[in-house]
Amino acid sequence: MSAETVTISSLGAKGDGVAHDSNGPIFVPFALPGETVSIARVKSEGTIMSFATTSPDRVQPPCRHFGPDGVGGTCGGCSLQHLAKAPYNEFKRQILIDALKSKGLEAPVGDIFEAAPHQRRRLVFTVRRRESGIVIGINQAETHHVVKIEECPIASNGILSRMDAIYTIARAAGSDAFRITVTETLTGLDISLDGLRGGLGDQERRAVTNAVIKLKGIARVSANGEIVIEPNKPLLDFDGARVALPPGGFTQATLEAEAHMAELAIAHIGKAKKVADLFAGVGTFALRIARKASVFAVESDEKAIKALDQGARTTQGLKPVSIERRDLFRRPLMTSEFKTFDAVVFDPPRAGAEAQCLELAKSQVKKIVAISCNPLTLARDLAILTAGGYRIDKVTPIDQFLWSPHVEAVATLTKG
């Protein structure tokens, strides 16, 4: 380890400050462009020891776990609380612009749709049993140390207000180390216990069941994907369509971002009469689109596609919704299968939709909406589509992971 003084020239893709010397880049977490800092250095990584100059863009972090001096605290959940709002938004927008440029794409990139504090309705906590008792929190960055969460400015108040109940259920589970995914739904918290070695024993199952019976506001508890107790179906609302979230099921992290992404998609497809929704999940977009057009929804996860189908069947006023369980990575829809569709919406996992886009690019579908949580795979997929004759109308960055380097995007495309 060596100590030296460096000047930060930019922010890296993970939000670290980046300095340079003759050997290449040096990554300094929690440093900002324009700052001169003394660091303890190990290879290409630096830890801030002191400041010679600070940036005017440096602000007081809102959370005690981030550290009052803005150079990182104990919690590893956020990395950019020390950066002022305007440069923070531009940093995230630039991530998307740089990803597009890496594939030779010059596309109109709109202003970022901003996240706000206390919007996150889905959080993953780590649980550890210590001599002093159960600790529920977030891992410290690059370590296995769990920081007990005393406050969290990103989490919804519906989750924060029920931390005592979450602790009660965690204690009843009995295991020394596992994860808890908490999702706020219309009917209460959906709590998923994952990573339990051997699952829950009979004694622990009874303890969890008895705890939930005494508590209020818990819709369901599942363990390693199996329902333990379900006082209420954990329901999500997609423009009036109610869907029961499967155990461990995926949903967008914030309601506000989800609604805005859906608005962008629906506005672009316009008067399309028949729409394919690929990687449809539980129907986040499909059931909203079905208010105006018939929808063919494709998803590989059996529980998710069944939940979507049930939501469609029990909602009045929808256009026809048909479904297919299909792995679009291994068996994408072929070009000939798109002949009857006016528009396509796809929202794949982080790996993107390369195989599907190779087929879609050869189709004559008029409108496409590409939704992605990974700018790099989105750029690759858009490059495939533009090579096939599609024009990128606009790309909108979406921030639903506040104070992190993660950014989502909605890209709209038109054939010809």
| Token pair listed for 407 | 């950014």
> Which residues contribute to the annotated binding site for S-adenosyl-L-methionine?
252, 279, 299, 347
Q: Tell me how far apart the alpha carbons of residues 151 and 386 are, in angstroms, rounded to a whole number.
A: 45
Report d(CA 273, CA 275) in Å as an integer.
7
> How many Å apart are CA 49 and CA 138, to the nearest integer?
24
Cα separations in angstroms, 287 against 192, 201, 237, 323, 355: 25, 38, 10, 12, 25
* Residues contacting 337, CB < 8 A, separation 6+: none
State the DSSP string of 364-387. --SEEEEEES-HHHHHHHHHHHHH
Total number of residues shown for the chain = 416
- Binding positions are 252, 279, 299, 347
**Cα–Cα dist 94/323, whole Å:** 37
Q: What is the spatial distance between Cα 211 and Cα 207, in angstroms, rounded to a whole number?
A: 6
Contact 275, 369 (CB under 8 A): no
Runs of H (alpha helix) within 235-276: 255-269
Cα end-to-end distance, the chain, whole Å: 57
How far CA 328 is from CA of 294, 297, 312, 347, in Å, comes to 20, 12, 22, 11
Closest CA to 310 of 288, 290, 282: 282
Tell me which DSSP letter residue 333 carries. P
Query: Distances in Å between the alpha carbon of 15 and those of 168, 259, 282, 372?
Result: 36, 27, 32, 20
- Specify burial of residue 368 (Cβ count, 10 A radius: 0-12, 13-18, 19+): buried
Q: Mind giving me the DSSP string for 288-320?
A: HHTTTSEEEEEES-HHHHHHHHHHHHT-TTPPP
Q: Which residues are known catalytic residues?
A: 373
